[in-house]
Amino acid sequence: MSARSPLTPRQLVILTHLVDAYIATGHPVGSKTLVELGAVEASSSTVRYELAELESRGLLDHPHTSAGRVPTDAGYRLYAESLLEQPLPPAVLPVDLSSVRSEVDTALRVTTEMLSQVTSLVALVSAPRLESTEIRHIEVLLLQPQVVMVVVITATGGVTKRIFPFPGVVDPKLAEWANAFLNEQLTGVRLGARMLVTRLDEPGLSPTEQVFLDILRPAFTELVEAAEQQLYVGGGARLLEEMHVDDLVAINDLVRVLEGRVGMLEMLRQALDSPRPYLRIGADHSVPYMRGLAMVAANYGLATRNLGTVSLIGPRRMDYAAAIRSVRGAAHALSEFVAEVYEE
């Protein structure tokens, strides 16, 4: 929007009612409709003047020869940002994560599907990056006389396995010692922490013990680099079925979103530090194929750091109030859940 004076209260009311009406119907909204809705106590001519002013500011568009107007990206953004400033309470969502126990991946999957069902939008929930989770337990297993397997179980319920062949027979007592030593040294340590490396270089180890640990070291130090961050997606097919032919461009964009998970993860990662729900509408998106869509998102995590993002994606003509309340509710539920898991 240009650097003009702020909108007048009447202009804000007219813009809000016009966006509400357009979201509800999908049809351009004219002055007569706004007067009939009781949006503002003014004549049709006054409302027409205000609509022209809002259009000149880039907040509305005048499609074809229609007498009505539709919101632009800037109009949607002003409308949605005003909702973020309101004390919209988090939605109470019909999901119970207490039965999921400590399986974070299950909790994220359940939340994603529930969120898409409640809103009829595409729901995306990014999992915590592996380096943000702690080691809960380690198993050093002697599979064969010359083959050792290291199993790492994280606080989020993730399990990784790595096999190490040795040139000679491994002493079973050495494997037992390594099992006890690694659990003592690394349980509770974050995978991405520098402390992990220093804990593996404990002074006073015998040369045999140190050589054995050095061979097993990649099971921990290379775990983060090899892992791919998970992104849970729900509701894509449902939303595509409900969109109209008029939304063909947005439909194509949405299909590309569902296919381009790596790009979506990077976009969500960039906003991970946001302290409140955030919006990306139309031209706000850095990803070109997202510019026909809108996204409302909120971060979840611990008191000290955010771990992941809950987001809803759909047409720019989405119900922003419901979307904001829904992502707030889902983020709140997941924050409570991961707080219990990470404190175990």
Burial class (CB in 10 A: 0-12, 13-18, 19+), 139: middle
Q: Which phi and psi angles does 268 have, rounded to 5°? A: -65, -35
In the CATH scheme, what is the code of domain 132-226?
Answer: 3.30.390.60
What residue spans define the domains of the chain? 9-71, 98-129+230-343, 132-226
User: pTM (2 decimals)?
Assistant: 0.73
CATH architecture classification, 9-71: Orthogonal Bundle (1.10)
pLDDT at 344: 45
Structure tokens at 42: 């003014």
User: What whole-number distance in Å separates Cα of residue 197 and Cα of residue 156?
Assistant: 21
Q: Which of 254, 220, 69 is nearest to 152 (CA)?
A: 220
- 40, amino acid identity: V
Residues 322 and 306 sit within 8 Å (Cβ to Cβ):
no
State the pLDDT at residue 331.
93
Amino acid at 52: A
CB of 124 closer than 8 Å to CB of 233:
yes
**What stretches in the chain show pLDDT beneath 70?**
1-4, 65-66, 98-102, 130-132, 156-158, 192-193, 224-229, 236-263, 342-344
- Which token pair is 185? 């040294």
Encoded amino acid at 172, one letter = P
d(CA 329, CA 333): 6
Tell me, rounded to whole angstroms, the distance of Cα 167 from its chain centroid: 46
The pLDDT score that the predictor gives to residue 1 is: 41
- Residues forming beta bridges with residue 160, ordered by sequence position: 152
Other CB atoms within 10 Å distance of the CB of residue 43 = 11
Strands 135-144 and 70-71: unpaired
So what CATH class is 98-129+230-343? alpha beta
What are the residue ranges of helices labelled H in the chain? 9-25, 31-36, 44-56, 73-84, 104-119, 172-186, 195-200, 207-216, 218-221, 223-226, 236-242, 248-259, 261-270, 320-343
Identify whether the C-beta of residue 326 lies closer than 8 Å to the C-beta of residue 93: yes
Distance of CA 93 to the CA centre of its chain: 17
pLDDT at residue 266 in the model: 74
